Structure 1
Amino acid sequence: MSSSPQPEAELAKLRFTLEAANAAMWDIDLVANTVVWSENAEQVLGLRPGALSTTFVAEPEWIHPEDRAGTLTALWEAARGGETYVIEHRIVTADGETRWVTARGGAVLDDDGSPARVVGVLVDITDRQLLAERLRGELAAKDRFLTTIGHELRTPLTAILGFSAELHDRLSDEELAPVRDIAQIITQQADQMVALIDDLLVAGRDADSPVPIDPHQVELCGTVRRVIDGWPDEHRGSVSIDEGPVRAFADPIRLRQIVRNLIDNAIRYGGPTITVRCWETPIEGRSHLVVIDDGPGIPSTPPEPDTGVHPTGIGLAVSRRLAERMGGSLSYEHVDGTTRFELELPLEA
C-alpha cells in the first residue's frame, strides 16, 4: 500500500497549479479576523511585497473603487449564508494599472453550522476581458459598416424604383406595352433588392448587437394588404386575406419585413392559392397570423451548419429572429400537402 503524499509535495503541486493558472488563494478567519494568502498572491495582483495585510481590511485598496462595495457585499452575503459566490471585478496594481480578476469563494462552517472561514481564489482574466472588449468594438464597427452599406445601396435603388415606376405609368401607348413590362420588371427586381438588403442587415447582427425594435399597436391583416398592394396582379390576386381588424403589439417595419418574407416564400414554393388568417387569443394575450398554401413546402436540404440559414434564402431565418426579438415566435409545418407558417406576437404591450 502506497503512502500518502508528504505535505511538501502537496504544497508544491498547489503552488504549481496556482502559478500555471495565474491565480491566488486566500483564507479569511472570521473569528480571528485574519487573512492567509498564497505565496504568489501579491505577484498575481501586481502588488509590492508586503502590500497584502494578514489582518482583514474592511476596504482593500487593491480592489477598484467602483467595484469595491459590490465585491465585498457578495463576499459577506456568501459568508452569512454559508454559500459560494462568483464575481468578476477590477483591481488596481501598484503601478496604477487596472486589471480584471474572477473571484470565487465560499464559506466554511464550524461544528455548529456557523460560518467560521471564507476561502477563495482569484484568477487573472485581464487578457480575456481585453479580447472581449476588442470583439465588442469590432462588432460595433461591423454594425456601423452594415448600416452605411445599407444606406449606400438603398439610395440608388430608391431612385431606380421611383424612375421605373414613373416610366411604367407614362408608357400608356399600346405599342409601348413591351417597354412598360420591362419597366415593371425593373421595379419588381429593385424592390426585391431593397428587401434583400433589409434581411442582410438583420442577418449580419448577432446576440450582442440585436436589431433595434420599436413596437406599437398594429393591425395584422391590414399590414398584409399594405405589403402586397404594390405587387404584380398575378401575385396579389392569389392571396386571400381574412377580413376584420386583428391587433398586435409589434414593430411595424419589422412586421412588414416578416410578412413580406412569408408571402414571398408561399409564392415561390406554394400552390396557386395562398390564405392568410389572423386572430386574437385575448386570454393568452397573443395574436396570430398564419400563411397557408398547398405547395410542396420548403425543400428538404438542411440549413448551412455555420450560419443556420437555409439554402433557399435568409428570409425565413431572419423572420424567426425578428419574431423572437418582438416577444413572439414563428413556426413551420407541412402536413398532408399543406404548408403552414404561424407568426405569434404579443396582443398588447
Structure 2
Amino acid sequence: MATAQVEPELHSPLMAALDASGVVGAWDWDHLRHVAIYDRGAAALLAGDAALAGRPLDGTMAMPRVHPDDLGTLVEETLRATQVGGLFLSEYRVLLGNGAVRWLLSRGRTYLGESGRPLRTRGILIDITEGREDGQSYVTRPTVGADNPFEAAADHLTAARAVLAGIAPFRLRAALDVALMELGRMVAAGIRLDRTKRH
C-alpha cells in the first residue's frame, strides 16, 4: 500500500498496525487465462517490479524472484490447490534485487467452477522473515482441519479482500489486512500447537 495515498489522520496508528501485521501484497491467479495479477507489493516481491501491478503476467514473468530451491514445491502446492479447490497455503523464499532473502507466506483460496475446473486463486502475501529466524516453519502438512473456525474466517476475509480490492476505501482494505494477519497468526499457532501435541 502506498503511503502517499493514505489520509494524514490514518497514517500513524493504522499504518503502524499494517506495518506490524506483515501483509505485504495481494495476488490473483486467473486459471482460465493462465495469468497472475498482483498489487504493487506482490509485483515487487514476486515479479521484481512494482510497476507490473495490475498487469496480467504469465508463469515466466509472474515468479522470477521465487528462490530456485523453493520454486518446485510452490508449483506443486499450486497445482494441488487448483485440483481440489479451497485453501491455498505456501511458505517460500524470494530473492530481492540487492541479494537479500525474504520469507513469504502466501495464503488464499482456489475457486472451482461448476465443472470442477479451477477458475481463480486469490490471496495475500505475508512477510514472515522475522519469524523464520528461529528456523520454525509456519506451514506444516497436513494443515489444520477445515473445521477450524479461524481458518474458515480467514478464508472468508481473503475472499472479501479480493472482491473489494479495486473498489474498497483504504480504511476497509486496511482493516481486512489487519484482521487477516491476526487470523493467520492464530491458524499458525494452532498448527504449531498440534505439532507439539504429536511429539
State the TM-score, normalizing by the size of structure 2: 0.51
For residues 94 and 125 of structure 1, what CA distance do their matches in structure 2 show?
Answer: 19
SS at match of 1:79: helix
Q: Which amino acid aligns with 2:101?
A: T
Larger relative contact order, structure 1 or 2 (CA cutoff 8 Å, min sep 6):
2
1:106–1:120 CA contact under 8 A, matched in 2: yes
Cα distance change of structure 1 residues 115 and 45 upon mapping to structure 2, 3 Å threshold: closer
Residue 36, structure 1, aligned to residue 37, structure 2 = yes
Q: 1:187-206 alignment to 2 at 5 Å? A: none
CA deviations 1:97-156 (Å, max 9, x no partner) are: 1111112232112243421111122111111112x149xxxxxxxxxxxxxxxxxxxxxx
Match of 2:89 in 1: 86
How far residue 47 of structure 1 moved from its aligned partner, in angstroms, is 3.2
Q: Deviations over 1:32-57 (max 9, x none)?
A: 12222123324556933336762221
Instruction: Note closer, same or farther for the CA distance 1:22–1:82 as it changes in structure 2 (3 Å cut).
Output: closer
Aligned-pair Cα RMSD in Å: 3.2
Matched, 1:23 2:52: no
Identical aligned pairs, as a percentage?
22
Task: Tell me, yes or no, if the aligned pair for 1:88 and 1:100 is still in contact at 8 Å.
Answer: yes
Q: Distance in 1 between matches of 2:18 and 2:29?
A: 18
Contact between 2:92 and 2:103, CA under 8 Å: does it hold in 1?
Answer: yes
Question: Is the Cα contact below 8 Å between 1:22 and 1:44 reproduced in 2?
Answer: no
Secondary structure of the 1:89 match is strand
Cross-structure match for 2:149: none
Which secondary structure does the structure 2 equivalent of 1:41 belong to? helix
Q: Which residue of 2 is the match for residue 257 of structure 1?
A: none
**Equivalent runs, 1:154-303 vs 2, <5 Å:** none
| Count of matched residue positions in the alignment of Structure 1 and Structure 2 | 121
Q: Distance in 2 between matches of 1:46 and 1:60?
A: 5
Please tell me the residue identity of whatever aligns with 1:98: V
Is the CA contact (8 Å cut-off) linking 1:106 and 1:118 kept in structure 2? yes
> Could you tell me which amino acid in structure 1 is paired with residue 120 of structure 2?
R
- 2:59 aligned residue: 57
Go from structure 1 to structure 2 and tell me whether the alpha carbon gap of 1:51 and 1:111 turns closer, same or farther (over 3 Å shift).
same
Amino acid across the alignment from 2:126: V
2:90, 2:43 → 1: CA distance? Answer: 20
Which residue identity is paired with 2:67?
H
- Flag structure 2 segments of 5+ consecutive residues without an equivalent: 1-9, 137-198
Give the partner amino acid of 1:83. G
Counterpart secondary structure, 1:55 = coil
CA offset digits 1:188-242 (Å, max 9, x no partner): xxxxxxxxxxxxxxxxxxxxxxxxxxxxxxxxxxxxxxxxxxxxxxxxxxxxxxx
Which secondary structure does the structure 1 equivalent of 2:56 belong to? coil
Matched, 1:106 2:72: no
Helix, strand or coil at the partner of 1:40: helix
One-letter amino acid of the structure 1 residue matched with residue 58 of structure 2: F
Whether 1:117 aligns to 2:120 is: yes
Matches within 5 A, 1:120-131: 120-130=123-133
Mapping for residues 300-311 of structure 1, pairs under 5 Å: none
The one-letter amino acid paired with 1:56 is D
| Partner Cα separation in structure 2 for residue 116 and residue 45 of structure 1 | 21
Structure 2 CA distance for partners of 1:18 and 1:46, relative to 1, 3 Å: farther
Alignment partners' CA distance in 2, 1:109 and 1:42: 25
Q: Given that residues 46 and 94 in structure 1 are in contact (C-alpha distance below 8 angstroms), is that contact kept between their aligned partners in structure 2?
A: no
Other structure's SS at 1:78 match: helix
Separation in 1, partners of 2:18, 2:46: 13
TM-score (norm 1): 0.30
Q: Distance in 2 between matches of 1:114 and 1:124?
A: 30
Question: Contact 2:41 / 2:50 at 8 angstroms: preserved in 1?
Answer: no
**Is the 8 Å Cα contact of residues 23 and 124 (structure 2) preserved in structure 1?**
no
The structure with more radius of gyration: 1
Tell me if the contact between 1:44 and 1:124 (Cα under 8 Å) persists in the aligned partners: no
| Bigger fraction of residues in helix | 2
Cα distance in 2 between the residues matched to 1:78 and 1:46: 21
